[in-house]
Each structure stands twice: as C-alpha cells, then as structure tokens.
C-alpha cells in the first residue's frame, strides 16, 4: 500500500493508472475506520483494478459548535486496517494541503438540504460537496463508494455528480450493522456503556415504520409518531428528527408510495447518531 499526503502526487498516480487503462475505485472517509469502511473497500476491490481511499477530517463540514476537534482519530490504526482491507493508495492530506489559501469561490447546495441533517447543520453539505469535488479531481475515480447509512449525503453527492457532469459512477453500499442492529459508525465510540445498550432502538424504531407501511398504514404522521414513541420508550436520548421521505428526491410525500426512506437522528450525551432504512411500496 502506498501512502500519499500531497495533492499533486495523488493526481499524478491517478493519471498513471488511467494511462495504463486501470480502473480506479475510490472510498472517501474521515478515518477512524470500522467494518463499514472495510465493506466499501471490498466492494471497490471486486470491481476495480486499483482502490484509492482518502482519510481526511474535513473542517468545512463541521459547524462552529460541532465536534470537529472531538472527532475520533487514529491514523496508525487506520493505515493498518486500510492495508489489510486491500487499499492500494491511501491519500492522507492535512487541512493545510487541501485548503492552502482562501477560496475565490464557494459551492452551495440548494436542494435536498432543507430537511433531515441539513436543517440544523447549515453549510454542512456545502462543505461535503466542496471536498468531494476536490477529491474526485485528485483521485480521478471510475467509481466512488458510499455507505447508505448517510443516505442524505449520498443523495446530495448524486446531485453533485449529475449537475457538474463528473465522470464517476456512484455506488451505494448497504449499511453495515452490529449484531444488535446498531449501524456501525466512528461516533459509536463516544457512547457510554448504557447508551450503547439503548442505541439499537433507533434501528428497531425505524423497522416499526416499515411494518406499519407493509400492513397498509397510509398516514405519515401516524407512522413517524409510532417510531418516535418507540424510541422515547427505549432510549434516554433526544430525538432530533424522524422523517419519511421519497428517495433519492428527499421530498415529503402525502402517503407512502414508491421508494422511500425512513430516517432518524438521535442525540446522546456526547454524540449524535443517524440511521435510516429504505422501504418500497
């Protein structure tokens, strides 16, 4: 595995791969790798000649009161896990390398951000698309792999690729879960022992929505209220939101139909967790 920290070197390596006719699979991450990231690498490994992973905690997508400094980091462990997973090139720039001067322009996301995490995180997705635009130019991937745990991010990135005609195929990968049903996340490390026991209620609550829809329930408010009530009964945490939306449009719908996503965000004492499941009717 080759470790790269400079943008020019990364782009040079990517161009060399292109000249040799080798396909590139790209896995963007913020590090503190876990089973979910390893699954993304395995998917990329199965369909590409070269696998590139980036590890970069992007300051642009953290608000002034969010957990940028507290975001878990373990670069040495990440290097080991990346190599074991089959990464060929590990791109690990620092913030100075990625943003070495004040930008002359700004990327702004105008759709799919006025709901879910976008409501309470103004500017978050602007930071996401900014860093991904840069990373796509630097790694030149044929395919990029994203976990569906953050389905809103996937939908926003799909718009980025479509609107700006990036020549990259986005590959969604199902959420990896612990045996309890809790979605694997770098932020799980910040849960207390008791919160770790309670957190699987997020997924179980979302499954309640799926059951109701499969039973024929058409009232969106009834469905989301049932999810909230289940979570409140089984967790000592603040529910940020529970929403049932069309996917990938991320629009509110009058009744359950088509491809949908039931999503939730929950705030525990030291961290905020998100999860979702897809439903078709």
33 is in an annotated binding site: yes
80 is in an annotated binding site: no
**80 assigned to some structural domain:** yes
Domain shared by 218 and 105, yes or no: no
**237 assigned to some structural domain:** yes
CA atoms of 31 and 234, how far apart (whole Å): 30
Average pLDDT on 55-60 reads: 96
pLDDT at residue 5 tops 90: yes
234 is in an annotated binding site: no
Tell which of 173, 196, 225 closes a domain. Answer: 173
pLDDT digits (tens, 9 = 90+) for 6-34: 999 999 999 999 999 999 999 999 999 99
The residue annotated as part of the active site, out of 37, 47, 101, 137, is: 37
Domain shared by 135 and 209, yes or no: no
Domain shared by 52 and 76, yes or no: yes
Tell which of 173, 200, 227 closes a domain. Answer: 173
What is the reported pTM?
0.93
Structure confidence at residue 36 as a pLDDT band (50, 70, 90): very high
pLDDT digits (tens, 9 = 90+) for 149-180: 999 999 999 999 999 999 999 999 999 999 99
Domain shared by 138 and 218, yes or no: no
Tell which of 144, 173, 202 closes a domain. Answer: 173
**135 assigned to some structural domain:** yes
> Catalytic site residue 100?
no
Q: Tell me, what's the pLDDT at 127?
A: 96
pLDDT at residue 67 tops 80: no
Structure confidence at residue 102 as a pLDDT band (50, 70, 90): confident
15 is in an annotated binding site: no
Structure confidence at residue 185 as a pLDDT band (50, 70, 90): very high
pLDDT digits (tens, 9 = 90+) for 210-267: 999 999 999 999 999 999 999 999 999 999 999 999 999 999 999 999 999 999 999 9
What's the domain range around 113? Answer: 2-173
Least confident of 40-49, 61-70, 132-141, 219-228: 61-70
């Amino acid at each position: 595995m080759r470790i790269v920290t400079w943008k020019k070197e990364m782009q040079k390596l990517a161009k060399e791969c292109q000249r040799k006719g080798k396909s590139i699979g790209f896995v963007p991450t913020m590090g503190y790798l876990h089973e979910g990231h390893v699954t993304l690498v395995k998917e990329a490994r199965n369909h590409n000649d070269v696998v590139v992973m980036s590890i970069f905690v992007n300051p642009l997508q953290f608000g002034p009161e969010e957990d940028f400094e507290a975001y878990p980091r373990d670069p040495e462990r990440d290097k080991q896990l990346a190599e074991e997973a089959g990464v060929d090139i590990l791109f690990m720039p620092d913030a100075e390398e990625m943003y070495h001067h004040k930008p002359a322009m700004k990327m702004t996301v105008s759709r799919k951000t006025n709901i879910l995490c976008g409501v309470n995180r103004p500017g978050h997705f602007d930071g996401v698309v900014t860093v991904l635009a840069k990373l796509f130019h630097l790694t030149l991937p044929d395919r990029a792999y994203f976990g569906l745990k953050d389905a809103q991010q996937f939908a926003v990135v799909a718009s980025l690729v479509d609107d700006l005609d990036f020549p990259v195929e986005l590959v969604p990968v199902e959420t990896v879960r612990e045996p309890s049903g809790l979605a694997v996340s770098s932020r799980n490390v910040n849960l207390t022992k008791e919160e770790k026991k309670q957190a699987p209620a997020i997924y179980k609550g979302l499954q309640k929505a799926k059951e109701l829809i499969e039973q024929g329930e058409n009232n969106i408010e009834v469905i989301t209220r049932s999810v909230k009530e289940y979570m409140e009964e089984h967790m000592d945490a603040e529910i940020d939101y529970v929403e049932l939306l069309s996917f990938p449009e991320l629009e509110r719908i009058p009744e359950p139909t088509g491809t949908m996503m039931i999503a939730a965000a929950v705030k525990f004492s030291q961290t905020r967790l998100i999860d979702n499941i897809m439903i078709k009717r």
